[in-house]
Amino acid sequence: MSDAASEIARLRAALAAQTACAEAAEARAQAAEADLAQARALASCTDAMIQELKLEIAKLRRDKFGISSERRARLIDQLELQLEELEAAATEDVLAAEAAADEASTVRAFTRRKPVRKPFPDHLPRERVVVEAPSNCACCGSTRIVKMGEDITETLEVVPRQWKVIQTVREKFTCRACEKISQPPAPFHAIPRGWAGPQLIAMVAFDKFGQHQPLNRQVERIAREGIDLSLSTLADLIGHACVALAPIHALIERHVLDAGRLHGDDTTVPLLARGGTKTARLWTYVRDDRPWDGGAPPAALFKFSSDRRKEHPTRHLAGWQGVLQSDVYGGYNDLYLADRSPGPVGSALCWSHGRRKFFELADIKATARKGKKVAEEISPIALDAVKRIDEIFAVEREISDLSAAARLEVRQQRVAPLVHDLHDWMLAERAGMSKHNPVAKAINYMVEGKGRWEAFTAFLDDGRLCLTNNAAERALRGIALGRKSWLFAGSERGGDRAAFMYTLIVSAKMNDIDPQAWMADVLARLPDLPVSRLPELLPWHWKTQQDAVNAA
């Protein structure tokens, strides 16, 4: 009996030991899993932080140095998409690490660095939701409790867009003496015999041309909100808006063409044609005197054409005389003729385009992406040209926002020697190259042709001129980003209508105002405003009025 008891005791001891070993192994496994989860969370958060810093650096470089090409804009878009994915992955990994830490009590949970939340804007309405106060002390149960303060937790919430019908009531009165009926006159509407308010009209127009949402998508979105509006109804509103806003467009066009210096550029627009689409053009002419503190407010004028023949810019700028900053497109050549009436237009070419020719031959990252050997594909001469041109850009960044006279003085002293040295160096290097050499072609882009180099160096003699044509490219950026959404212009009149609305929207953006709010206010005030006061509704004057109202 004693042998059996001892054997049972031994087996129980062995089972307890095995159980303890199993529990220890399970604890070690849980700790290892928790450590792994924390490591993954840390790696994900680190990746997200690196991507966020890269995005911030790219945006700061764009804000400080401007945009030399659409490549940087695409890079920022790509970084933002990557940041979205990394942030979502980091959140998932942090939650997994917290869950693993809860299971393994011996492991300290990973704490993710939270971004600092900015305070909510003051103009947002506040809705107080007061939690029911206790009637008794939570400690002793006494009812003798007195309020000593409160803690407020703010949560940002969104209320779905609200639609409403405004009923304008005009009461009728009859006279007991003469039995005549009196009634106040009907107020003017944003559009003749219109049923849509100015806010609605502005929303439809801005969503179509400013947010690149075609009308058919707007119809679907509005239908989900319980309002039945047909495509033809919204199109009718767009037509009415163009007619109503025509006087403002005319004032902006006059303002732009009164400038002595313009930026000019164009971009492709698919135009619906029989059997498919053809390539049409949207042209822009930008007045922006801010780089030399000229005082005139900025604005942009857009024009549409079904092709890129040179007759179009000649017609757009008929009667205008000044300096046109552009690329080397030959369609502007008729503007430079000596016998042109009222006189020849001066030419100032864009150094960003000239630099880009060399940069494409010296772009190490682009070459690596193509799988080519960097040492064989990178041109040392092109790289040297980029460095020389960057020295000119560095000086130009220093004199931004200075007066025209101050800019001219610095250019004569510091920039002119760099430009002349660059010219002599390019001619010397080209002399030893074949005419088919890509670097020789890049050099010819700047120095070959009648008056080409003089147009590139025109900025040395005029402090108003800019080194680049980036102002026009910025005006066209929205079109380049949006044409994938609306696919094509339905007709030539549709293209003209788009150019009309882009003139209004881009000019408003250049003056740092909300295009939709501005158009809505203009549509509401236009019917009652005399013609002599129409300039009050121009974006720059409207902004001054709004700033005064907000300050008051």
What is the rounded average pLDDT for all residues in the chain?
82
Helix and strand numbers (H, E) in the chain are: 19, 7
In this predicted structure, what is the pLDDT of residue 509?
A: 94
Least confident of 4-13, 286-295, 516-525: 4-13
Domain boundaries, the chain: 2-103
pLDDT in tens, 465-510: 999 999 999 998 888 777 766 656 777 888 888 899 999 999 999 9
Question: Does the pLDDT at position 339 exceed 80?
Answer: yes
Q: Sheet with 323-326: list strands edge to edge.
A: 299-305, 276-287, 261-273, 323-326, 346-349
Tokens (6 digits) for 27 = 């604890």
Q: Which residues contact 244 (CB under 8 A, 6 or more apart)?
A: 190, 191, 523, 526
CA 511 to chain centre: 14
Residue 535 tokens read as 């300039």
pLDDT of residue 477: 86
- Provide the token pair at 137: 């002390």
pLDDT tens, 286-335? 999 998 888 899 999 999 998 899 999 999 999 899 999 998 888 899 99
- Tell me the three-class secondary structure of 285-300, residue by residue: EEECCHHHCCCCCCEE
Higher-confidence residue of 227 and 253: namely: 253
pLDDT tens-place string over residues 38-95: 777 777 677 767 766 666 666 666 655 554 444 555 555 555 555 555 555 565 666 6
User: What is the per-residue pLDDT for 78?
Assistant: 57
Q: How far apart are CA 368 and CA 377, in angstroms?
A: 9
DSSP 414-464: IIHHHHHHHHHHHHHHHHTS-TT-HHHHHHHHHHSSTTHHHHHTGGGG-TT
User: β-strands 261-273, 276-287: how paired?
Assistant: antiparallel
At 454 the pLDDT is 93
Confidence of residue 264 (pLDDT cuts 50, 70, 90): very high
How much is the pLDDT for 93? 62
pLDDT given at position 550: 78
Note the pLDDT of residue 116.
57
Residue 368 pLDDT class (50, 70, 90 cuts): very low
Please report, to the nearest 10 degrees, the dihedral formed by the alpha carbons of residues 330, 332, 336, 341 taken in order.
140
- What is the pLDDT, as a whole number, of residue 81? 52
Left, alpha or beta for 275 (phi > 0: left; psi -120 to 50: alpha)? left
Token output for 138: 């939570």
Write the DSSP assignment of 8-76 as a string of letters: HHHHHHHHHHHHHHHHHHHHHHHHHHHHHHHHHHHHHHHHHHHHHHHHHHHHHHHHHH--SSHHHHHHH
pLDDT at 241 over 60: yes
Q: What is the pLDDT of residue 84?
A: 52
Residue 374 pLDDT > 50: no
- 99 pLDDT exceeds 80? no
Burial of 546 (0-12, 13-18, 19+ CB in 10 A): middle
Helix residue ranges per DSSP H, 302-450 = 311-316, 351-362, 364-369, 374-377, 380-398, 404-410, 416-431, 438-447
Tokens of 185: 């006159």
